[in-house]
Amino acid sequence: MKNIAVIGAGTMGNGIAHTFAQSGFTVKLIDVSEKSLDKGMATIAANLDRMVAKGTISEDDKHNTIGNIITYTEISDGVIGADLVVEAATENVELKLNIFRQLNDACSHNTILATNTSSISITQIGAVVSHPERVIGMHFMNPVPIMKLVEIIRGYNTSDEVTKTIMDLSVTLGKVPVEVNDYPGFVANRILMPMINESVETLYNGVAGVYEIDTVMKLGMAHPMGPLQLADFIGLDVCLAILHVMYDGFKNPKYAPCPLLVNMVRAGKLGVKSGEGFYDYTESKKAEKVSKQFS
């Protein structure tokens, strides 16, 4: 397995492409937007420059990594000859199902189809393709080149052979794969999102302010980042989408998103990517202040 296709050039997609390419795989990075592809490649180059500056990799490693990545704007062109396709598009059920329908038509039946979804049912995604035993969840953590964990999620029909192949592949990438079963939120977000949501509820109820809540969790619970700042980095829209998936899946009110989170997303305050969430990132001084608070 040497030919990898990655769909989506956003934060997760370019990180996944970077990781495979740095490990010597040939990577086809696919996105409908040429602008997104250019931005994704620029991000990869900047991240590699940081690694060179730290002495983690050499200049040759950097050039080889970039040379291993080819960009495409058409799925049908980008997945030709792929041994594995990793879908890393926006966390939207219909979007992902549509992509997998296209993959079903464009890929060989031997191609393993993985999704980087953080909460959506692997079984549901697998149901739209022939040979659903080749569909699996491969949930990387952000930032992908640095974080070791990969949640490997088995759908109802995922075969033992495909699971073992992806577990072994993850180890080849220098990751630590953990096999989990297909339930809403899997493990990571089933535990993380209720904590973030409860932190938002704590703010909503006036128990404490943003900085105070995050400081308690950082200093009292040894978390490297407070839950509200973490939500900003994940994207409040992504947090809301995951909570909706979990609430719909379990029908348990403990997963219902806090009204404050809902309103912030409606107002376009999505966190770092929009310039404002629980913290304000729109001015360099404010961003620097937040960085110092959490350094």
In a domain, 273, yes or no: yes
**118 flagged as catalytic:** yes
Q: Which of 68, 121, 151, 274 is catalytic?
A: 151
What is the number of domains present in the chain?
2
User: In angstroms, what is the C-alpha Rg of the chain?
Assistant: 19
Q: Which of 36, 87, 121, 139 is catalytic?
A: 139
Q: What percentage of the chain has pLDDT greater than the value 90?
A: 94
- Asked whether residue 146 falls in the same domain as residue 195, the answer is no
At 181 the three-state DSSP class reads strand
Domain boundary among 150, 181, 212: 181
CA distance 82 to 10: 20
Q: What is the CATH number of the domain that holds 146?
A: 3.40.50.720
Q: Is the pLDDT of residue 293 over 70?
A: no
- Asked whether residue 15 falls in the same domain as residue 144, the answer is yes
The whole-number average pLDDT for the span 179-204 is 97
Confirm whether residue 185 is marked as ligand binding. no
- Asked whether residue 175 falls in the same domain as residue 207, the answer is no
Domain of 166, in residue numbers = 3-181
Q: Render 142-169 in DSSP notation, one character per residue.
A: SSTTT--EEEEEE-TT--HHHHHHHHHH
The two three-digit tokens of residue 12, written as one number = 């997760």
- Asked whether residue 139 falls in the same domain as residue 221, the answer is no
Residue 290: pLDDT band with limits 50, 70, 90: very low
pLDDT tens per residue, range 92-129: 999 999 999 999 999 999 999 999 999 999 999 999 99
- Asked whether residue 25 falls in the same domain as residue 159, the answer is yes
Confirm whether residue 271 is marked as ligand binding. no
- Asked whether residue 10 falls in the same domain as residue 127, the answer is yes
**131 flagged as catalytic:** no
Q: 3-class secondary structure for the chain?
A: CCEEEEECCCHHHHHHHHHHHHCCCEEEEECCCHHHHHHHHHHHHHHHHHHHHHCCCCHHHHHHHHHCEEEECCHHHHCCCCCEEEECCCCCHHHHHHHHHHHHHHCCCCCEEEECCCCCCHHHHHCCCCCHHHEEEEEECCCCCCCCEEEEEECCCCCHHHHHHHHHHHHHCCCEEEEEECCCCCCHHHHHHHHHHHHHHHHHCCCCCHHHHHHHHHHHHCCCCCHHHHHHHHCHHHHHHHHHHHHHHHCCHHHCCCHHHHHHHHCCCCEHHHCECCCECCCHHHHHHHHHHCC
Q: Which of 14, 118, 119, 170 is catalytic?
A: 118
pLDDT tens per residue, range 72-88: 999 999 999 999 999 99
In a domain, 30, yes or no: yes
In a domain, 205, yes or no: yes
**139 flagged as catalytic:** yes
Confirm whether residue 118 is marked as ligand binding. yes
pLDDT tens per residue, range 20-68: 999 999 999 999 999 999 999 999 999 999 999 999 999 999 999 999 9
Confirm whether residue 142 is marked as ligand binding. yes
Domain boundary among 135, 158, 181: 181
Q: What is the CATH number of the domain that holds 226?
A: 1.10.1040.10
- Asked whether residue 160 falls in the same domain as residue 39, the answer is yes
Q: What is the pLDDT of residue 288?
A: 52
Confirm whether residue 104 is marked as ligand binding. no
In a domain, 224, yes or no: yes
Strands 26-30 and 69-72, sheet pairing: parallel
CA distance 124 to 224: 34
- Asked whether residue 71 falls in the same domain as residue 17, the answer is yes
Domain boundary among 181, 213, 247: 181
In a domain, 283, yes or no: yes
Q: Is the pLDDT of residue 147 over 70?
A: yes
In a domain, 295, yes or no: no
Confirm whether residue 199 is marked as ligand binding. no
Confirm whether residue 11 is marked as ligand binding. yes
- Asked whether residue 28 falls in the same domain as residue 89, the answer is yes
In a domain, 9, yes or no: yes
For the chain, the average pLDDT equals 95
pLDDT tens per residue, range 232-268: 999 999 999 999 999 999 999 999 999 999 999 999 9
